[in-house]
């Protein structure tokens, strides 16, 4: 008798209704085989219908930036103001190590000339066509540095060298200091109409052009880099990945499945199912109408790897039935009956994990999540329908000897049961030590080095950064604060000083700024007198020089990409080489601090034009990548939490056991924490892939847990002891878990070979996590189960749940804070907590009196009644009515407000009792004073959380009551029409009541302070103040707002707040 025949026994407890249902479903599946063949064909046809949408891949680095990513929006704005630069750097390396020879200059000239013929070209810059300026008498001469490169004398070449190595605009940018390397910089204007074709076309034509030109100029080597090449690399690496990895992947799966099943036809069946699943996933992408990209191109491989697990479970189960009967349908009936539930749960949880990638801010990961999620669901359907059909139809050889594997796993189970007292603490310590490495993880995104050294692009880029100039660029748009403001000498001096400061920063290779050109022009206009190599002294000179210069420039050489259209901002491009993301963030922060301290015009103009963003921030593709991981980690924390809750819910539902569901959280979450930790010890730096790893792997590692726990739970229900149930679980699913884990590890190990770091890191982390998950399932979970069940005589389910939750919280506490809780998040969390505590009050009325006091102490009063109604839909603000009682002449005047979320204006109606008229009024006047008080309309309007961005500053004793602790949170209004640059609020930690708010005006000065007093609690949870005092520090006026007679039980309905009812309430 096979060792695990017990669970096939027909005398299974009748109470097990799920199993009876599974048996019925299994019977139905096996009986309708041809139906499944037909439905599979239908699935293939459906998937194929739009499959043409996904090819060719999208060749752009910008696919990682979603349109709603604020950094992307800043980049788009910058490019709209100046130019969208897609450049191609043709780095020219002459054999002799000297650029300034007649031969090399001729080659550069020829390259420059030929580059103008490339498609979509906007501008070509090189040493030869550099716009050299000098004075000839009183005249300003602007000409190409090498006017006729075809026939240069050695003397002319030397003259060019003298000029080029002297000009800061060229040095370390167009030519290296030793004169050994130069570049031809080609800029393109990509219309973006057909991104999949534009870049490959340019690259193909460039290569052809190079071949043609260089044939006539031997001894010249040209290396290619720049954003066009990066984009091209994104496309080609995706194609190469899919081509290079597909073969090894199939091989790995073939070997593992073949060894496990020892059957050619069973392996074939597996291949059919996983291939169709991958095809269905791609079909889903086609229906979404999105082309593949460098990340999603690997999605089919993910799907295949994941789909193997389910098929192996079915086939392994079939293998266990083989010795008993030759009836193939019976193999499948039993396999399905036993594993149907577990496979459904496993696939659904995997799909949930991947679908949760939709929370990512990076579209490729959302798409990856959707493709894999759909593919896994397709795999589920196919495993349950097509696979049984194939098994019954294909001539799979029956094996009569009992499967040996159960024996080995039985031994492992025995060992675990014997040693559980050692394993439990041992594994716990091991897990904690592993997870400790998380602190060593650094988020690094250098998109130039997403591609490893095997790629020619990477080699060329490294060469360029080592020998010529940096390829990474931070773009600063420095505002002057007014149109034509760039001609202001004070502003120009700030820009010049900033450029000089940046040139001294570590990693900076060059700074491109127009002030260099202006200084040079000043000298040229003064007969090349070096004493005048400085910025002009007055506005008119600066503007005249630029005007003259522009008039004299050659074709395609205008200044529109340096100065914006109304001449209110200048662009400074800082090129950096061999710097990490952290370095660049430091450079960015230093630059902002320097500008704040040393460039008052620029800093003030920036604050004026960027409310909510107090410091000058650069942009550029590099900058967006610099902070994308930080943003995505935060976004995915939500996604991961949602996935965790959903997946845990599915497990509890499937196992019908809350306790076991809670226990399952430990082996589900721990592997990811341990995996990150090991990565932290071993590698440290990680790309933006990290954000999506937990969510993605969660769904996968859950499978093992579900299979193990469902068998354990069944054993316990059949009356086994905890130890026997563990042994039973090992015997029945241990081998399948081992095989699938090896298969998954093999698959992801292949994917990890991708030369594209985002894919490579994702696959490596996933592979590590999956292995650790098996370790946790085999060594920690059984020990935990035995320990908890031993204690079950004294321990209620409730305390077990608490224990498990505690373990989870501890594990979570160890992992998450390292990646989370920036001041911005904490600020938002406080605002949300305060908002949450103030939900559900429904409606209330209150009487208010305003006492307006001017600086001389003269008082004037207004009394009113206030009605407020809370709208449940969080996308709508609250509704309120203010009805004035005094002064008597405005008695009955009513103001009805329907608040909207910023930046949409509120809806407001005014009721004038004298003429009985309801009038819709404009509410765009946020900064205006409400009835001439110090409260603006903005201050009194309903404050919704999404109206602001937040930043937590500190916790300190409350200014109103030193006995309380207050969070100090700054909030920055999102609406540019706001009268404030920021508000600083003191919110007590006890009840989240606002105690004090400082209002800073748009110039950043402290304008007003609002203090709250006399908080009372209503309806047992809602706190309202009796007294508010707003003091205007600028005018020394103040307004007290005294509240009385709060009534939360007033019978107000939504209809009372309709504009047609306003005359009735206002009386």
Partner 1 sequence: MQMVMRHRRPEATRFAAGVFCALAGIAALIALVSPAPAGAEEANRLAFLEPEHAEIYGNVELEGTLFFQPPQFDDQRRDDVSMAIEPTLLLEWNDGDTVFTFTPFTRFDSQDDHRTHFDIRDMKIEQVSGDWAVTFGVDREFWGRTEAVHLVDIVNQTDLVEGIDGEEKLGQPLLKLSRLTGIGEFSAYYFPYFRKRTLPGPEGRLRLPLPYATERAEFETGAEEWTPAFAGRYTGVFGDVDLGLHGYWGLSRDPSFRVSRGRLLPVYSRIAQAGIDAQYTFGATLWKGEAILRQGQRNASFERELYVAATGGLEHTLYQIGGTDADLGLLLEGAYDSRGDEALTAFDNEVVGGLRLTLNDTQDTAVLLTGAVDVTDGSASVRLEAERRLTPHITAAVEAQGFFNTADDFVNRGFADDSFVRLKIKYYF
51 versus 901: smaller Cβ distance to partner 1: 901
Residue 922 in contact with partner 1, rule: CB under 8 A: yes
Comparing C-alpha atoms, which of 115, 116, 105, 128 is closest to residue 220? 105
Q: What angle do CA 514, 518, 524 make, to 5 degrees?
A: 145
CA distance 756 to 402: 45
Q: What minimum distance in Å lies between the beta carbon of 843 and partner 1?
A: 13
Name which of 197 and 932 has its Cβ closer to partner 1.
932
Rounded to a whole number of angstroms, the minimum distance from the CB of residue 985 to partner 1 is 25
* 8 A C-beta contact, residue 480 and residue 602: yes
Q: Which stretch binds partner 1 (CB under 8 A): 187-195, 237-245, 379-387, 914-922?
A: 914-922
d(CA 232, CA 60): 7
Nearest to 29 by CA among 281, 284, 335: 335
Site for partner 1 in 1018-1057 (CB under 8 A): 1050-1051, 1053, 1055
**Which residue in 916, 954, 963, 1020 binds partner 1 (CB under 8 A)?**
916
Residue 920 sits in the site that holds partner 1 (CB under 8 A): yes
Nearest-approach distance from CB 1051 to partner 1, in angstroms: 6
Q: What is the CA radius of gyration of the chain?
A: 35
User: Between 476 and 515, how does the x/- string for binding to partner 1 read (CB under 8 A)?
Assistant: ----------------------------------------
Which C-beta is closer to partner 1: that of 397 or that of 886?
886
- Annotate 411-432 with DSSP letters as a single string: HHHHHHHHTHHHHHHHHHHHHH
Phi and psi at 838, nearest 5°, equal: -110, 35
- Reference 277, options 258, 250, 299; nearest CA is 299
**Binds partner 1 by CB under 8 A, chosen from 166, 395, 889, 954:** 889
**Judged by CB, which is closer to partner 1: 207, or 886?**
886
How many angstroms separate the first and last alpha carbons of the chain? 91
Nearest Cα residue to 552 out of 136, 109, 133? 133
Work out which of 81, 449, 467, 1061 binds partner 1, going by CB under 8 A: 1061
* Of 917, 1003, 1016, 1019, the one binding partner 1 by CB under 8 A: 917
Residue 142, H or E segment: strand 139-144
Cα separation, 560 vs 63, whole angstroms: 27
Residue 857 near partner 1 by CB under 8 A = no
d(CA 526, CA 496): 20
Find the shortest distance in angstroms from Cβ 74 to partner 1: 25
The residue count for binding partner 1 (CB under 8 A) is 38
Query: Which one among 829, 890, 1031, 1042 touches partner 1, defined by CB under 8 A?
Result: 890
Residue 888 binding partner 1, by CB under 8 A:
yes
Is 921 a residue that touches partner 1 (CB under 8 A)? yes
Q: Which of 546, 529, 530 is nearest to 492 (CA)?
A: 546
State the minimum distance, in angstroms, from the CB of residue 1064 to partner 1. 6
The Cα–Cα gap between 556 and 230 comes to 24
Compare residues 165 and 918 and give the one whose CB is closer to partner 1.
918
Alpha-helical segments (H) within 85-179: 102-115, 154-164
How far is Cα 906 from Cα 940, in angstroms, rounded to an integer? Answer: 12
472-479 and 843-853 as β-strands: parallel, antiparallel, unpaired? Answer: unpaired
Identify which of 671, 661, 672 has the alpha carbon closest to the alpha carbon of residue 636: 672
Q: At what angle do helices 514-525 and 539-552 cross, to 10 degrees?
A: 90
Which of 459, 609, 721, 860 lies at the binding interface for partner 1 (CB under 8 A)? 860
Q: Note whether 138 binds partner 1 by CB under 8 A.
A: no
Nearer Cβ to partner 1 (525/852): 852
Instruction: Provide the minimum distance between the beta carbon of 1025 and partner 1 in the complex, in angstroms, as a whole number.
Output: 24
Mark residue 290 as left, alpha or beta (left: phi above 0; alpha: psi -120 to 50; beta: remaining).
beta
Among 358, 580, 925, 1009, binds partner 1 (CB under 8 A): 925
| Closest CB to partner 1 among residues 392, 1059 | 1059
Among 212, 798, 861, 1016, contact with partner 1 (rule: CB under 8 A): 861
Q: Smallest gap, in angstroms, from Cβ of residue 847 to partner 1?
A: 13
Q: Which is nearer to partner 1, 81 or 1061 (CB)?
A: 1061
Is residue 1012 within 8 A of residue 985, CB to CB? The reply is no
Give the strand pairing for 442-443 and 685-686: parallel
Count how many residues are written for the chain: 1067
795 to 854, contacts with partner 1 by CB under 8 A? Answer: 852, 854
User: Which one, 875 or 1055, has the nearer CB to partner 1?
Assistant: 1055
Contact positions with partner 1 (CB under 8 A) in 340-369: none
- Judged by beta carbon, residue 138 or residue 889, the one nearer partner 1 is 889
Nearer to partner 1, 323 or 1063 (CB): 1063
Cα 680 to Cα 433: distance, rounded to the nearest angstrom: 12
Q: Which is nearer to partner 1, 439 or 924 (CB)?
A: 924
Nearer to partner 1, 203 or 896 (CB): 896
Half-sphere exposure of 345 (CA within 13 A, CB side): 26
Q: Does residue 954 belong to the site contacting partner 1 (CB under 8 A)?
A: no
Cα 301 from Cα 283, distance rounded (Å): 14
**Binding track over 929-948 against partner 1, x by CB under 8 A:** x-xx----------------
Nearer to partner 1, 624 or 895 (CB): 895
Give yes or no for residue 891 binding partner 1 (CB under 8 A): yes
Min separation Cβ 911 and partner 1, Å: 10
Among 392, 718, 927, 1032, binds partner 1 (CB under 8 A): 927
| Euclidean distance between CA atoms 496 and 208, whole angstroms | 41
Binding segment for partner 1 (CB under 8 A), chosen from 472-480, 627-635, 801-809, 1058-1066, is: 1058-1066
Count Cβ neighbours within 10 Å for each residue of 998-1012 and write b for 16 or more, e otherwise.
Answer: bbbbbeeeebbbbbb
Residues in a beta bridge with 512: 573
d(CA 431, CA 425): 10
Q: Would you tell me how many other CB atoms lie within 10 Å of the CB of residue 890?
A: 16
User: Among 338-346, 591-599, 922-930, 1011-1019, which window interacts with partner 1 (CB under 8 A)?
Assistant: 922-930
Minimum Å gap between C-beta 981 and partner 1 is: 17
Residues 6+ apart with CB under 8 A from 827: 950, 951, 952, 953, 969, 970, 971
Q: Give the footprint of partner 1 on residues 179-208 (CB under 8 A).
A: none
CB of 919 to partner 1, least distance (A): 8
Question: Binding of partner 1 at residue 528 (CB under 8 A)?
Answer: no
Sign of CA dihedral 59, 62, 68, 72: negative
Interface with partner 1 by CB under 8 A: which range of 171-179, 391-399, 794-802, 918-926?
Answer: 918-926
Q: Which is nearer to partner 1, 178 or 1005 (CB)?
A: 1005
- Report in angstroms how near the CB of residue 1000 gets to partner 1 at its nearest: 18
Those residues whose C-beta lies under 8 Å from the C-beta of residue 394, and which sit 6 or more positions away, are 265, 266, 268, 269
CB 67 to partner 1: min, Å? 24
Taking phi over 0 as left and psi of -120 to 50 as alpha, with beta for the rest, 997 belongs to beta
586/890 with CB nearer partner 1: 890
CB-CB contact of 973 with 902 (8 Å): yes
Q: Name the residues that contact partner 1, by CB under 8 A.
A: 852, 854, 860-861, 886-891, 905, 907, 915-922, 924-925, 927-929, 931-932, 1050-1051, 1053, 1055, 1058-1061, 1064-1065, 1067
């Amino acid at each position: 008798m096979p060792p695990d025949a017990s669970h096939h026994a027909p005398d299974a407890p009748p109470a097990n209704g799920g199993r009876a249902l599974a048996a019925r479903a299994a019977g139905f599946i096996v009986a309708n085989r041809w139906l499944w063949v037909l439905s599979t064909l239908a699935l293939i046809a459906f998937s194929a219908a739009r499959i043409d949408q996904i090819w060719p891949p999208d060749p752009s680095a910008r696919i990682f930036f979603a349109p709603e990513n604020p950094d992307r929006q800043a980049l788009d704005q910058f490019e709209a103001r100046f130019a969208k630069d897609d450049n191609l750097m043709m780095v020219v390396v002459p054999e002799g190590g000297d650029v300034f020879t007649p031969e090399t200059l001729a080659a550069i000239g020829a390259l420059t000339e030929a580059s103008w013929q490339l498609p979509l070209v906007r501008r070509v810059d090189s040493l030869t066509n550099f716009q050299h300026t000098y004075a000839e008498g009183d005249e300003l001469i602007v000409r190409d540095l090498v006017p006729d490169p075809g026939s240069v004398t050695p003397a002319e070449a030397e003259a060019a060298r003298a000029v080029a190595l002297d000009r800061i605009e060229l040095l370390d940018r167009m030519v290296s200091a030793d004169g050994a390397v130069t570049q031809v910089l080609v800029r393109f204007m990509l219309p973006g109409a057909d991104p999949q074709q534009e870049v490959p076309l340019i690259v193909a034509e460039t290569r052809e052009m190079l071949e043609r030109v260089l044939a006539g100029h031997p001894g010249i080597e040209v290396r290619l880099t720049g954003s066009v090449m990066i984009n091209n690399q994104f496309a080609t690496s995706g194609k190469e990945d899919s081509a290079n990895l597909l073969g090894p992947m199939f091989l790995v799966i073939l070997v593992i499945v073949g060894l496990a099943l020892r059957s050619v036809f069973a392996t074939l069946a597996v291949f059919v199912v996983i291939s169709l699943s991958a095809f269905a996933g791609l079909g889903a992408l086609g229906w979404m109408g999105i082309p593949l990209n460098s990340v999603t191109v690997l999605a089919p491989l993910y799907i295949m790897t994941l789909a193997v697990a389910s098929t192996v479970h079915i086939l392994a189960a079939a293998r266990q039935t083989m010795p008993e009967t030759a009836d193939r349908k019976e193999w499948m009936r039993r396999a399905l009956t036993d594993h149907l539930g577990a496979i459904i749960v496993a696939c659904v949880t995997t799909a949930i994990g991947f679908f949760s990638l939709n929370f990512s801010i990076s579209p490729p990961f959302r798409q990856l999540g959707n493709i894999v999620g759909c593919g896994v669901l397709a795999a589920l359907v196919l495993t349950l329908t097509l696979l049984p059909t194939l098994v019954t139809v294909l001539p799979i050889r029956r094996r009569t000897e009992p499967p040996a594997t159960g024996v080995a796993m039985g031994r492992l189970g025995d060992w675990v049961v014997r040693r559980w007292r050692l394993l439990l603490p041992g594994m716990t310590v091991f897990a904690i030590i592993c997870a400790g490495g998380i602190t060593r993880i650094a988020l690094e995104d250098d998109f130039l080095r997403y591609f490893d050294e095997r790629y020619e692009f990477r080699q060329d880029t490294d060469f360029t950064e080592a020998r010529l100039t940096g390829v990474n660029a931070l773009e600063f748009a420095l505002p002057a604060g007014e149109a034509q403001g760039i001609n202001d000498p004070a502003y120009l001096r700030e820009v010049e000083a900033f450029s000089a400061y940046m040139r001294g920063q570590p990693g900076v290779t060059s700074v491109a700024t127009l002030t260099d050109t202006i200084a040079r022009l000043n000298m040229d206009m003064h007969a090349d007198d070096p004493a005048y190599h400085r910025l002009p002294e007055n506005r008119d000179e600066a503007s005249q020089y630029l005007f003259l210069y522009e008039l004299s420039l050659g074709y395609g050489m205008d200044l529109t990409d340096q100065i914006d259209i109304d001449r209110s901002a200048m662009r400074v491009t800082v090129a950096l080489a061999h710097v990490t993301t952290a370095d660049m963030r430091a450079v960015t922060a230093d630059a902002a601090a320097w500008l704040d301290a040393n460039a008052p015009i620029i800093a003030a103009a920036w604050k004026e034009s960027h409310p909510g963003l107090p410091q000058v921030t650069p942009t550029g593709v590099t900058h967006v990548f610099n902070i994308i991981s930080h943003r995505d980690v935060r976004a995915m924390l939500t996604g991961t939490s949602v996935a965790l809750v959903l997946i845990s819910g599915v497990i509890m539902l499937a196992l019908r056991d809350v306790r076991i569901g809670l226990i399952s959280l430990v082996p589900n979450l721990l592997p990811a924490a341990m995996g990150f930790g090991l990565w932290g010890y071993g590698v440290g730096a990680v790309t933006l892939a990290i954000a999506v790893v937990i969510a993605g792997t969660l769904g996968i590692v859950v499978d093992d847990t579900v299979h193990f726990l469902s068998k354990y739970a069944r054993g316990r229900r059949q009356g086994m002891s905890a130890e026997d149930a563990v042994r039973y679980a090992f015997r029945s699913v241990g081998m399948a878990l081992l095989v699938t884990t090896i298969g998954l590890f093999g698959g992801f190990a292949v994917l990890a070979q991708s030369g594209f770091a985002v894919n490579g890191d994702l696959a490596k982390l996933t592979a590590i996590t999956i292995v650790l998950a098996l370790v946790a399932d085999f060594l920690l979970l059984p020990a935990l189960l035995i320990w908890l069940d031993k204690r079950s005589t004294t321990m209620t389910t409730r305390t077990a749940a608490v224990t498990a939750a505690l373990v989870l919280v501890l594990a979570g506490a160890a992992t998450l804070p390292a990646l989370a809780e920036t001041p911005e998040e904490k600020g938002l969390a406080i605002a949300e907590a305060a908002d949450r505590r103030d939900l559900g009050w429904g409606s209330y009325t209150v009487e208010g009196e305003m006492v307006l006091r001017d600086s001389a102490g003269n008082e004037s009063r207004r009394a009113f009644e206030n009605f407020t109604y809370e709208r449940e839909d969080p996308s709508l603000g609250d509704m309120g009515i203010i009805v004035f009682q005094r002064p008597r002449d405005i008695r009955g005047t009513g103001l009805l407000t329907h608040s909207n979320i910023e930046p949409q204006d509120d809806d407001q109606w005014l009721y004038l009792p004298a003429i009985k008229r309801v009038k819709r009024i404009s509410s765009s006047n946020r900064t205006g004073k409400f009835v001439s008080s110090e409260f603006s309309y903005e201050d009194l309007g309903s404050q919704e959380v999404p109206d602001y961005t937040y930043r937590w500053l500190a916790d300190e004793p409350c200014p109103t009551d030193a006995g309380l602790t207050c969070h100090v949170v700054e909030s920055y209004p999102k609406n540019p029409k706001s009268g404030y640059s920021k508000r600083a609020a003191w919110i007590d930690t006890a009840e989240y009541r606002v105690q004090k708010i400082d209002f800073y005006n748009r110039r950043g000065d402290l304008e007003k302070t609002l203090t709250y007093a006399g908080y009372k609690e209503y309806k047992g949870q809602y706190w309202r103040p009796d007294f508010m005092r707003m003091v205007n520090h600028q005018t020394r006026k103040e307004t007290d707002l005294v509240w009385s007679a709060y009534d939360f039980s007033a019978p107000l309905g939504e209809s009372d707040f309709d504009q047609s009812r306003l005359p009735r309430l206002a009386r």
